[in-house]
Chains A and B, each alone.
Chain A
Amino acid sequence: DGGITQSPKYLFRKEGQNVTLSCEQNLNHDAMYWYRQDPGQGLRLIYYSQIVNDFQKGDIAEGYSVSREKKESFPLTVTSAQKNPTAFYLCASRVWAEVNYGYTFGSGTRLTVV
């Protein structure tokens, strides 16, 4: 079955440590997105990529970095510059510029600072 795979499901980060969250899709979708979800808040866009080797900052990009070397993969690195990284991280994808289609989400990674 086609879908989006996020790993790991749970991740623990020590102070000052960089960690990378994986997002892989086999839907042949062009665009991929990273969102952050905090309790009582809507999903907030961190970074997005519409084509390979290109990506744009979202609303809360500070302290995060991404790469898009392959169409299928869009990893997110949470750097030590992100002061409050504890959150639920969601990856999504869609067919580029195709409106008659819903965004597909992964099952999420819960990151906790210890």
Chain B
Amino acid sequence: EDQVTQSPEALRLQEGESSSLNCSYTVSGLRGLFWYRQDPGKGPEFLFTLYSAGEEKEKERLKATLTKKESFLHITAPKPEDSATYLCAVEGRGSNYKLTFGKGTLLTVNP
């Protein structure tokens, strides 16, 4: 059974204070690891898909990295508008094309 654990559950940063969110996973053959951003009362917004260890992807102030056991979402010089819940999910090769989600990290960036 695929499992995803995200940490911390909540993170409060000052504007400009860089940090990282962690996503640890166990899966029988990774097909893809997904990062999403979710604002309150909205559906998740796609950020990145990572497929193999060593892969990195960037988008504005966000950078996602992947190892064989975990993924990091690095946030550089965050702004208040980066405040949201960040969700991590995996799709394993034995999952029949289904996602398993972590519980998310609630990020708050104070001005």
Contacts and interface: CB of A to CB of B under 8 A. Distances in A.
* Interface size classification for chain A: 20 to 34
Given A42-B102, A99-B31, A105 B44 contact: yes
Interface stretch (B61-69, B74-82, B93-101): B93-101
Contacts of B49: 99-102
Contact of A48 (B42, B51, B98): B98
B24 to A, nearest CB: 13
Contacts, number: 60
B46 A103 contact: yes
17 contacts: A6-B43, A33-B99, A35-B101, A40-B103, A41-B103, A42-B4, A42-B87, A42-B103, A42-B104, A43-B44, A58-B98, A99-B31, A100-B49, A101-B49, A102-B34, A107-B42, A110-B41
Interface of B: 4, 31-32, 34, 36, 41-46, 48-49, 51, 87, 89, 91, 96-104
Given A96-B97, A108-B42, 19 more contacts: A4-B43, A6-B43, A42-B4, A42-B100, A42-B101, A42-B104, A43-B44, A43-B87, A45-B98, A58-B98, A88-B41, A97-B97, A99-B91, A101-B49, A102-B49, A103-B99, A105-B44, A107-B42, A108-B41
